[in-house]
C-alpha cells in the first residue's frame, strides 16, 4: 500500500512540475552592451535543459517552458556568452541581456572531404537572384516608418569630469540604469521618427520619398526643413545585398552573395531554422582578409526559393576604414506577390571612434520598418521629379497621431532618450558647443534669417593685396522661401582697393528647381583660377587667394541668369554677362595681328557674352535645405556638362565677337576588387581669334599641394589652346596592396595612381595676336607668361603614384612629366601633398 502511494505521489509531482505546458514564462531583450542595439536571432535558453528561443528583429524573446531551471543563457556569434541567475519556479520573469562584442569564435568546425556544402547553396542564391532581387520589379512602393538616433558613446572617466557632463549628471544616472548592469553608457543627443511613403521606378531609375509627419527632438536642432527630409531613411539606407557591392559613405563593401562571394569570404553552414514561416539555411560568413572592405555576420537563406530572408552583416575596426569602430546592417526581407523580396525592416548602425584620448565617440542608429507593399504599378514619370516631399504640417506636434502611426511602440530607452534631450538642450554650455559645431561644419554663423560667412574666405595673405579681409552673408528660408540674397565686402591692407559682390535670386519652383537672379561684383581674380573654372570647390578657391598670387587681374562683372530642371536630371542654365579684364601682370595683345609689329596693342579688354549650359546627371537625387538643394548622388553614372558661349562686339562695351564650346564629363566607378577609379574628360573649341586669357589656359600647379583638376608638373599658364581634349584619371586601390603586407597593413595606407593626358593646339592667328608683346620693358609688373601652344601631334603627359590615408588625413604623391621635358624651365619630377578626409 505504501509503495502504491509513493508511486502515485511521484507521478503527481511529475505532472505538476514537468508537464504543465507554458507554466514558466520568461521575457526579455538581448542588446549589444557597447551601443544598446538589439541583437536579432540571438539564442536564449535554460541551462541544463534542451529548450530555448531566439530573439526577433527587435532583440526580444519569449520563452515558454515546462521545465524549471535556476539560470538562463544568451549567446550570439561574435559576442561573449552570458549566463544569468533566475528564480526557480517563478511563473513570470523579465530578464535582459547585454552581450559584450568579441572576436569571431567558432566552437567547432567539421571539415568534410570535397567541397564546402555552403557553396551549393550560394550558387543557388546566384542562380535565383534574377527572380528574387527587387531590381526585377518595374516599380514598387510601400508605407514606411523610420526612427533615427544620434548618441555620444565611448564615454571615458576623464570625459565625465567635464562641466557639460556634470550639468546633466542626474539625467545620466537614469540612463546608466536603463543600459543594464553589463551595458555601457550612451547619451542621446538627437532622436527622430517619421512616417510616409517610398516610391521606386526601375527604368528610368527614380526614387521618391514623401514625409507625412515627423517628430524630431535634438540638441541644437533649429530648422527642421533639411532634417525632416533626412529622417525618412529610405533614400540613404535602402541597401540591396543582391548587388555585388553595398555602398555607403563613398565606400563599396563586397556583398556575401555577390558575384565574387568565393574570393572574399569563408562560409560555415549551420542548422536550418524557421524565420517567419520560411525554413532557412543559417550561414555564417567571415572575410578572408579582415582589412578588406567586406562584412562578417550571419544570413538566412530560404531552402526552396534560395532567397535571402534575413542578414546580419557587420564591419569591424580591422577593416581599412578611418574613424570607425563598427558598422552593422541588419535586414529582414518580405516576399511580394511577384516573387521578389523587399526590405521589411532594416537596422543601420555606425559607431565612430574617439578622435583623441579622453574624448567621446558618436553613435548613429537608424531603424526603418516598411509594410503594405505595392509592386509593378508605376506612376507617370513626372510624379517622381521631386525626390523628397514633406507635408506642410509635417512638423506640427500631434501626440494622438503618433499613438497609432508607429509600426511598433517606442521602447523604454526611446522614451528616456527623449526626456534626456529635453533636459539637456537648453543648458548654456551645450548651446555653446552646438554653435561652434555649426560654424565648423557649415562655415557660416547663423543669426535666425541671416548667415554670416563663409569663414574660410574671411582672411587671406598675398603679395598684391597684403592682408585681405572679407565679410560675407546670405539669407536662408527663414528670411523668405523664394527670395535669396547674398553679398560680401572686402579690401586688402596693401592695395586698399574695396571689393564687393551683391546677388539677388528668386526661387520660382522647388519641383523643377527654377531660379532666376542678378549679380554684380568687383574683385581680384587669377587667370585659369576663376570661380567658373574651379566650380563648387570653395575650399580650393579660398586657398588660391594666398601666396604669390600670379596671373592676377581685376574684374568687374554683371550677370543675369535663369536656371531650371527641364527633365529629371537635365538642367538648363542661360545667362548674359559683361566682364572687364584689367591685368596686374605683363600683358598686351595686338589689335590688328595681320600688321605684325606695326599693330597697335592694348593691355585690357571688355567682353559681353551669352551662355547656354546643359547639365545631365542621370539618377541624381537631392534634398532641399530651405531655399538650397544638396545632392545625394555619388556620381557613379557620368555627369555631362555641355556649354556654348557667344560674345557680342559693341554690345555693352564688348570688344569681341566669338563662339566657344566646352564639354565636361565626370564619373567614378568600381573596378571589382581592385578599388575605385574616377576620370574627368574635358574638351573645348573656339574658332575665334582672341587674346590668350579668353582661350583655354590650362591649369598648372607650381605649389607642393596636390589639386585634382590641375596638371601637377605644368607651370602656371605654360600652355594655352584654342582647341583641346584632356583626360585626368585617378585610381585608389583602397588598401588592396598594403592590406597584405605584414606590419604596414596596420597603418591602413592606400596605394593611389594617376595619369593626365592633354592634347591641344593654337591657330597661327591666335599666336600672332600675342606674339612679342608680353615683355614691355617699362612694365611695373614683374610676372609674365608665355601662353605657349602645344604641339597638336604631341600630347602633354604625366603620371603619378603615392600613398593615401597617412595618419588618416594625408596624401603624398609623386608626379613625373613624360613630355615637353625641354620646354621652358619644367619640373620633371614633383612631390606633392594634400589633406584628404575620408572614411
Q: What is the CATH number of the domain that holds 31?
A: 2.60.40.1120
CA dist., res. 777 & res. 460, Å (int): 31
pLDDT of residue 622: 72
Q: Check whether 12 has a pLDDT greater than 60.
A: no
State the burial class of residue 68 (Cβ atoms within 10 Å of its Cβ: 0-12, 13-18, 19+): middle
pLDDT at res. 311: 93
- By DSSP bridging, strand 676-685 and strand 658-670 are antiparallel
Cβ pair 86, 109 in contact under 8 A: no
Which residues fall within 8 angstroms of residue 410, CB to CB, at 6 or more apart? Answer: none
With cut-offs at 50, 70 and 90, classify the pLDDT of residue 163. Answer: low
Tell me which of 405 and 426 has the higher pLDDT.
405
Q: What is the pLDDT of residue 128?
A: 94
Give me the mean pLDDT over the 561-585 stretch.
92
Q: Are strands 97-99 and 24-32 parallel, antiparallel or unpaired?
A: parallel
- Predicted pLDDT of residue 344: 93
Q: Could you give the residue ranges of the DSSP H alpha helices within 155-206?
A: 157-160, 163-167, 169-179
Rounded Cα distance between 117 and 133, Å, is 23
Whose cell is 605684325? That residue is 596
**Is residue 55 domain-resident?**
yes
Question: Alpha carbon of 116 to those of 109, 308, 819: distances in Å?
Answer: 12, 19, 54
State the Cα–Cα distance between residues 235 and 248, nearest whole angstrom.
11
> What is the residue range of 202's domain?
142-236+378-424
Residue 1 has pLDDT above 50, yes or no: no
Domain assignment of residue 62, yes or no? yes
Q: What are phi and psi of 656, to 5 degrees?
A: -140, 145
Describe the crossing of helices 169-179 and 412-424 by its angle, rounded to 10 degrees: 170
Evaluate whether residue 56 is within a structural domain.
Answer: yes
Examine the domain organization and report whether 146 and 220 are in the same domain: yes
Same domain, 31 and 94: yes
* pLDDT at site 309: 94
Residue 807, pLDDT above cutoff 50: yes
For residue 145, is pLDDT > 60? yes
Hey, which residues does 581 pair with through a beta bridge?
Answer: 605
Residues 85 and 152 in one domain: no
Q: pLDDT for 445-473, tens place per residue?
A: 888 889 898 888 899 999 999 999 999 99
The reply to whether 87 and 148 lie within a common domain is no
The pLDDT, as a whole number, for residue 809 is 81
Distance between CA atoms of 134 and 198, rounded to whole angstroms?
Answer: 14
Tell whether 821 is covered by a domain: no
Looking at the structure of the chain, the number of domains it has is 2
Predicted local confidence at residue 336, as pLDDT: 92
Is the separation of the CB atoms in 308 and 327 below 8 Å? no
Q: Is the pLDDT of residue 306 over 80?
A: yes
99, 121, 151 - which closes a domain: 99
Lowest-pLDDT range, 44-58, 242-256, 560-574?
44-58
pLDDT for 470-496, tens place per residue?
Answer: 999 999 888 888 999 999 999 999 999
- At 416 the pLDDT is 74
The verdict on 222 and 149 lying in the same domain is yes
Position 33 confidence tier, pLDDT thresholds 50, 70, 90: confident
pLDDT at 3: 46
List the single range of 248-257, 654-663, 729-738, 774-783 with lowest mean pLDDT. 774-783
Question: Does 252 have pLDDT greater than 90?
Answer: no
Residue 395 lies in a domain: yes
Instruction: Work out the pLDDT band at 17, boundaries 50, 70, 90.
Output: very low
144 closest CA partner among 350, 345, 375: 345
Q: What is the pLDDT of residues 669-683, one digit of tens each?
A: 888 778 889 999 999
Q: pLDDT > 90: what percent of the chain?
A: 36
H/E stretch holding 830: strand 829-835
Q: Judge whether 407 lies within some domain.
A: yes
| 128, 213 contact by CB (below 8 A) | no
Considering 348-362, 532-546, 756-770, the range whose residues carry the highest mean pLDDT is: 756-770
Residue 743 lies in a domain: no
Using an 8 Å Cβ cutoff, are 459 and 468 in contact?
yes
Last residue of one domain, picked from the residues 406, 424, 442 = 424
> Which residues, at least 6 apart from 191, have a Cβ–Cβ distance to it below 8 Å?
147, 148, 149, 150, 216, 217, 218, 414, 417, 418, 421
In angstroms, the CA 788 to CA 716 distance is 11
For residues 529 and 462, what is the distance between their CA atoms, to the nearest angstrom? 15
Q: For 209-232, how does the pLDDT look when each residue is reduced to its tens digit (9 = 90+)? A: 888 888 887 765 555 445 555 556
Per the CB < 8 A criterion, the answer to whether 457 and 545 are in contact is yes
Predicted local confidence at residue 357, as pLDDT? 66
pLDDT 10s digits, 416-443: 777 777 766 666 555 666 666 666 666 7
pLDDT band at 780 (very low <50, low <70, confident <90, very high): very low
Q: Are residues 94 and 147 in the same domain?
A: no
CA angle (157 as vertex; 153, 160 as ends), nearest 5: 70
Q: Please state, in angstroms and rounded to a whole number, the distance separating the CA atoms of residues 297 and 486.
A: 51
Rounded Cα–Cα distance for residues 164 and 173 (Å): 14
- Tell me the residue ranges of DSSP E strands in 543-671: 552-567, 570-583, 589-590, 601-602, 605-617, 622-625, 628-631, 639-647, 658-670
Bridge partners of 689, per DSSP, are none
Distance CA 269, CA 146 (A): 33
As separate numbers, helices (DSSP H) first and strands (DSSP E) second, the chain gives 14, 45
Residues with Cβ < 8 Å from 402, sequence gap 6 or more? 193, 213, 215
Cell of 22: 507554458
Read off the pLDDT band of 403 (50, 70, 90).
confident
Give which of 549, 530, 579, 408 is closest to 467, Cα–Cα. Answer: 549
| Rounded Cα gap, residues 522 and 612, in angstroms | 24
- Secondary element (H or E) of residue 436: helix 428-442
Q: Is 105 helix (H, G, I), strand (E, B) or coil?
A: coil
Report the alpha-carbon distance of residue 556 to residue 536 in Å, rounded: 21
Which three three-digit cell numbers place residue 681?
574628360
Instruction: Identify which of 659, 646, 567, 579 has the alpha carbon closest to the alpha carbon of residue 614.
Output: 567
- Using CA atoms of 230, 235, 237, 243 in order, give the dihedral in degrees to the nearest 10: -160
pLDDT at 475: 92
| pLDDT tens track for 502-530 | 999 999 988 888 999 999 999 999 887 78
pLDDT at 14 over 60: no
How many whole angstroms separate alpha carbon 731 and alpha carbon 389? 37
Backbone angles phi, psi at 532, to 5 degrees: -70, -25
User: Looking at 69-83, 707-721, 770-784, which range is the least confident one?
Assistant: 770-784
Distance of CA 60 to the CA centre of its chain: 32
* Helix, strand, coil shares, percent, the chain, to 5: 20, 45, 40
Q: What is the mean pLDDT of the chain?
A: 83
| Polymer length of the chain | 839
The pLDDT, as a whole number, for residue 8 is 46
Least confident among 14-23, 284-293, 320-329:
14-23
- Residue 781: its pLDDT value, please? 46
Does some domain include residue 491? no
Is the pLDDT at 20 greater than 90, yes or no? no
The single residue listed with the C-alpha cell 609689329 is: 597
Listed residues 75, 99, 123: the one ending a domain: 99
**How far apart, in Å, are the Cα atoms of 129 and each of 17, 38, 135, 296, 670?**
50, 29, 10, 21, 21
| Residue that has been written with the C-alpha cell 509593378 in this structure | 376
User: What confidence tens digit (pLDDT) does each residue in 41-92 have?
Assistant: 888 888 877 777 888 888 888 888 777 778 889 888 778 889 988 887 777 8
CA distances from 642 to 479, 487, 626, 639 (A): 34, 28, 28, 10
pLDDT single digits (tens) 590-632: 888 888 888 888 889 999 999 999 999 887 777 666 677 777 6
Mean pLDDT of 320-326: 82
In this model, does residue 830 exceed pLDDT 80?
A: yes
Amino acid at each position: 500500500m505504501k509503495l502504491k502511494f509513493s508511486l502515485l505521489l511521484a507521478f503527481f509531482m511529475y505532472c505538476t512540475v514537468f508537464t504543465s505546458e507554458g507554466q514558466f514564462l520568461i521575457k526579455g531583450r538581448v542588446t549589444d552592451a557597447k551601443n544598446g542595439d538589439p541583437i536579432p536571432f540571438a539564442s536564449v535558453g535554460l541551462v541544463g535543459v534542451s529548450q530555448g528561443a531566439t530573439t526577433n528583429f527587435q532583440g526580444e524573446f519569449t520563452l515558454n517552458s515546462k521545465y524549471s531551471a535556476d539560470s538562463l543563457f544568451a549567446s550570439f556569434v561574435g559576442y561573449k556568452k552570458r549566463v544569468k541567475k533566475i528564480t526557480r519556479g517563478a511563473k513570470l520573469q523579465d530578464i535582459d541581456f547585454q552581450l559584450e562584442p568579441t572576436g569571431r569564435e567558432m566552437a567547432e568546425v567539421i571539415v568534410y572531404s570535397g567541397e564546402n556544402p555552403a557553396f551549393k547553396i550560394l550558387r543557388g542564391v546566384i542562380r535565383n537572384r534574377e527572380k528574387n532581387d527587387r531590381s526585377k520589379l518595374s516599380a514598387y512602393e510601400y508605407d514606411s516608418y523610420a526612427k533615427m538616433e544620434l548618441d555620444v558613446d565611448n564615454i571615458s572617466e576623464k570625459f565625465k569630469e567635464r562641466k557639460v557632463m556634470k550639468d546633466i549628471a542626474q539625467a545620466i544616472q537614469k540612463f546608466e540604469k536603463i543600459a543594464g548592469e553589463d551595458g555601457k553608457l550612451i547619451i542621446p543627443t538627437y532622436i527622430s521618427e517619421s512616417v510616409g511613403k517610398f516610391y521606386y521606378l526601375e527604368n528610368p531609375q527614380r526614387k521618391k520619398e514623401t514625409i507625412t509627419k515627423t517628430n524630431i527632438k535634438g540638441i541644437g536642432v533649429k530648422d527642421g526643413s533639411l532634417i525632416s527630409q533626412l529622417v525618412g531613411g529610405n533614400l540613404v539606407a535602402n541597401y540591396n545585398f543582391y548587388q555585388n557591392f553595398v555602398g555607403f559613405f563613398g565606400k563599396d563593401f563586397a556583398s556575401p552573395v555577390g558575384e565574387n562571394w568565393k574570393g572574399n569570404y569563408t562560409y560555415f553552414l549551420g542548422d536550418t531554422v524557421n524565420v517567419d514561416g520560411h525554413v532557412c539555411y543559417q550561414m555564417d560568413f567571415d572575410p578572408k582578409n579582415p582589412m578588406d572592405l567586406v562584412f562578417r555576420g550571419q544570413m538566412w537563406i530560404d531552402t526552396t526559393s534560395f532567397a535571402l530572408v534575413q542578414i546580419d552583416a557587420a564591419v569591424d575596426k580591422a577593416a581599412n576604414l578611418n574613424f570607425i569602430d563598427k558598422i552593422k546592417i541588419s535586414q529582414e526581407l518580405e516576399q511580394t506577390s511577384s516573387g521578389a523580396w523587399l526590405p521589411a525592416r532594416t537596422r543601420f548602425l555606425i559607431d565612430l571612434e574617439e578622435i583623441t584620448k579622453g574624448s567621446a565617440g558618436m553613435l548613429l542608429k537608424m531603424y526603418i520598418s516598411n509594410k503594405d507593399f505595392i509592386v509593378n504599378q508605376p506612376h507617370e514619370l513626372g510624379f517622381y521629379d521631386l525626390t523628397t516631399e514633406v507635408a506642410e504640417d509635417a512638423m506640427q506636434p500631434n501626440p494622438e497621431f503618433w499613438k497609432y502611426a508607429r509600426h511598433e511602440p517606442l521602447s523604454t530607452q526611446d522614451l528616456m532618450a527623449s526626456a534626456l534631450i529635453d533636459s539637456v538642450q537648453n543648458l548654456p554650455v551645450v548651446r555653446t558647443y552646438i554653435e561652434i559645431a555649426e560654424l565648423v561644419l557649415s562655415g557660416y554663423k547663423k543669426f535666425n534669417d541671416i548667415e554670416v560667412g563663409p569663414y574660410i574666405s574671411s582672411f587671406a595673405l598675398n603679395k598684391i593685396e597684403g592682408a585681405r579681409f572679407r565679410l560675407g552673408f546670405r539669407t536662408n528660408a527663414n528670411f523668405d522661401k523664394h527670395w535669396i540674397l547674398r553679398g560680401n565686402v572686402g579690401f586688402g591692407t596693401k592695395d586698399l582697393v574695396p571689393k564687393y559682390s551683391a546677388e539677388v535670386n528668386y526661387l520660382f519652383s522647388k519641383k523643377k528647381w527654377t531660379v532666376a537672379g542678378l549679380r554684380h561684383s568687383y574683385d581680384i581674380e587669377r587667370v585659369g583660377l576663376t570661380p567658373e573654372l574651379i566650380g563648387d570647390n570653395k575650399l580650393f578657391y579660398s586657398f588660391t587667394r594666398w601666396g604669390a598670387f600670379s596671373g592676377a587681374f581685376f574684374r568687374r562683372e554683371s550677370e543675369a541668369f535663369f536656371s531650371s530642371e527641364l527633365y529629371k536630371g537635365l538642367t538648363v542654365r542661360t545667362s548674359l554677362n559683361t566682364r572687364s579684364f584689367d591685368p596686374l601682370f605683363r600683358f598686351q595683345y595686338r589689335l590688328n595681328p595681320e600688321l605684325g609689329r606695326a599693330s597697335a596693342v592694348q593691355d585690357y579688354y571688355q567682353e559681353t557674352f551669352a551662355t547656354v549650359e546643359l547639365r545631365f546627371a542621370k539618377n541624381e537625387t537631392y534634398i532641399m535645405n530651405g531655399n538650397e538643394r544638396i545632392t545625394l548622388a555619388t556620381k557613379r553614372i557620368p555627369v555631362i556638362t555641355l556649354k556654348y558661349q557667344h560674345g557680342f562686339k559693341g554690345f555693352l562695351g564688348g570688344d569681341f565677337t566669338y563662339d566657344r564650346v566646352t564639354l565636361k564629363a565626370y564619373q567614378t566607378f568600381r573596378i571589382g576588387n581592385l578599388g575605385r577609379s574616377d576620370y574627368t574628360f574635358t574638351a573645348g573649341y573656339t574658332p575665334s581669334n582672341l587674346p590668350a586669357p579668353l582661350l583655354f589656359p590650362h591649369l598648372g600647379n607650381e605649389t607642393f599641394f596636390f589639386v585634382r583638376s590641375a596638371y601637377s608638373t605644368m607651370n602656371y599658364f605654360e600652355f594655352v589652346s584654342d582647341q583641346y581634349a584632356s583626360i585626368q584619371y585617378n585610381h585608389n586601390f583602397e588598401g588592396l596592396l598594403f592590406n597584405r603586407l605584414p606590419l604596414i597593413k596596420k597603418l591602413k595606407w592606400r596605394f593611389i595612381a594617376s595619369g593626365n593626358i592633354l592634347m591641344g593646339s593654337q591657330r597661327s592667328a591666335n599666336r600672332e595676336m600675342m606674339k612679342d608683346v608680353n615683355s614691355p620693358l617699362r612694365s611695373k609688373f614683374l610676372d609674365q607668361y608665355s601662353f605657349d601652344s602645344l604641339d597638336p601631334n604631341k600630347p602633354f603627359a604625366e603620371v603619378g603614384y603615392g600613398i593615401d590615408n597617412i595618419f588618416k588625413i594625408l596624401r603624398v604623391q609623386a608626379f613625373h612629366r613624360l613630355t615637353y621635358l625641354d620646354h621652358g624651365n619644367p619640373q620633371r619630377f614633383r612631390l606633392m601633398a594634400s589633406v584628404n578626409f575620408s572614411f
